[in-house]
Amino acid sequence: MKNNTLTKTFNLTVIGGGIIGAWTMHLAKTMFPHWNILLVDANLVGNGTSRYSASLDMPGGHTSLRRKLVKSSQENWKKLLSDAPSLAIKDINAFGISKKEELQTIRKHFFSSISEEDNHEKYLKKLQRFLPGFNVTNDQSLFHIPFAQYATQNNVAEQIISNLRKEDKCTIIEGFEVKSVSKMKDSLMLTAENGIVINTKNVIEATGPWMLTGPMSSKCASLGVRNKKIVALHIEAKPHPDAPVIYSFDNEAFLLPRHEEGRWLFSFRSEIWNVMPKLEELKINSDDLLTAKDVLNSLYPPFVELISGGRSFCDAYGVNGDPIIKSISGLENYVIAGAGSGSGFRLAPGIAIEALTILKTL
């Protein structure tokens, strides 16, 4: 049977309708205003990792690349929220906990405004208003985090793409799973599982954990990309309207008040690697609960008995937690942009800009 080929040749095709793909299309529209831009997704847009994540954004990062991407991302989130104030994102007060000997490192990589002379007694009293009996150990520091925001709904990527549907030069096609990429004389040919063909000048692949099952899966694997499970539990306790997020740097875990849901969310670090993005295989299990309870018991023990359910999926992780933003050898106008390493929401704008900049310099 003859393949069905779309008649239009696009200037850019974004593969993946998650948060990185959404930001890539949004920023491409500004950077290349005359381009015809296409976004394709194997399913419905907005169903990437951020659909299941806590979607918390804070400054800083443990590598220079992540710090650069976070800075760029926060500037772009601020601009987008100014242009689209109805987007489901909200500022929230935040506090951090760490071992005292780690405070200098945290000041260097995350929050330079933290003062070692801060008397955390006032912070303790503040937190105890929201979490009675909350405390830290003698070897821990408690400090205020200068900025934090989170998604009040888990469909921010879908909201961004929904606004782009109204743009004349933006096209969104759902249910298009790219199975092969062929280099033509002046373009790239993308062929879907169902045989439909798209011709495009440039490609940015932003498929999150599906990057290990897509047309460039072997390349991504060679770059050290691996998938890891992500888990967050629901705590059935109604948070105070002014309750802050509490981030434990020792455990890479945090308690986030989900005021809109009338409960808390407890996100913690999973060590289950080499998984596939299949919901039925990524359910919260007894091992997840044991790990969570151990960490939560050190953070705020009264919440352990209030665990009810939660959410789980996976994300692609780069080496040392750095995202992958790289053109393919021999296909220089095909750029991989992903491996958000559990931070896709906070890094997405920065990753998108770096990927688009590669195309701009070709």
Quote the radius of gyration of the chain (alpha carbons, Å): 21
User: What's the one-letter identity of residue 106?
Assistant: I
Q: Tell me whether domains 5-83+154-225+320-360 and 94-147+226-317 share a fold.
A: no
Q: Distance of CA 236 to CAs 87, 115, 137, 303, 348, Å?
A: 26, 34, 26, 8, 30
Q: What is the pLDDT of residue 116?
A: 53
HEC assignment per residue over 210-244: HHHCCCCHHHHHHCCCEEEEEEEEEECCCCCCCCC
Q: What is the pLDDT of residue 156?
A: 96
Encoding tokens for residue 337? Answer: 């942009």
> Phi and psi for 264 in degrees, rounded to 5?
-100, 155
Q: What is the pLDDT of residue 1?
A: 43
Q: Are 323 and 351 in contact (CB under 8 A)?
A: yes
CATH hierarchy code of domain 94-147+226-317: 3.30.9.10
Strand order in the sheet with 149-151: 56-57, 149-151, 89-91
Superfamily of domain 5-83+154-225+320-360: FAD/NAD(P)-binding domain (3.50.50.60)
Encoding tokens for residue 47? Answer: 């169903």
Per-residue confidence in pLDDT tens, the chain, 362 aa: 456 777 789 999 999 999 999 999 999 999 999 999 999 999 999 999 999 999 999 988 889 999 999 999 999 999 999 999 999 999 999 999 999 999 888 888 887 666 655 567 889 999 999 999 999 999 999 999 989 999 999 899 999 999 999 999 999 999 999 999 999 989 999 999 889 999 999 999 999 999 999 999 999 999 999 999 999 999 999 999 999 999 999 999 999 999 999 999 999 999 999 999 999 999 999 999 999 999 999 999 999 999 999 999 999 999 999 999 999 998 989 999 999 999 999 999 999 999 999 998 87
Q: What is the pLDDT of residue 168?
A: 93
| CA pair distance 185, 173, nearest whole angstrom | 25
Q: What is the pLDDT of residue 5?
A: 72
Q: What is the pLDDT of residue 113?
A: 66
Q: What is the pLDDT of residue 60?
A: 85
Domain ranges of the chain: 5-83+154-225+320-360, 94-147+226-317
Q: Are 205 and 217 in contact (CB under 8 A)?
A: no
| CA pair distance 191, 2, nearest whole angstrom | 12
| CA pair distance 339, 343, nearest whole angstrom | 9
| CA pair distance 228, 324, nearest whole angstrom | 15
Encoding tokens for residue 71? Answer: 């800075």
pTM: 0.95
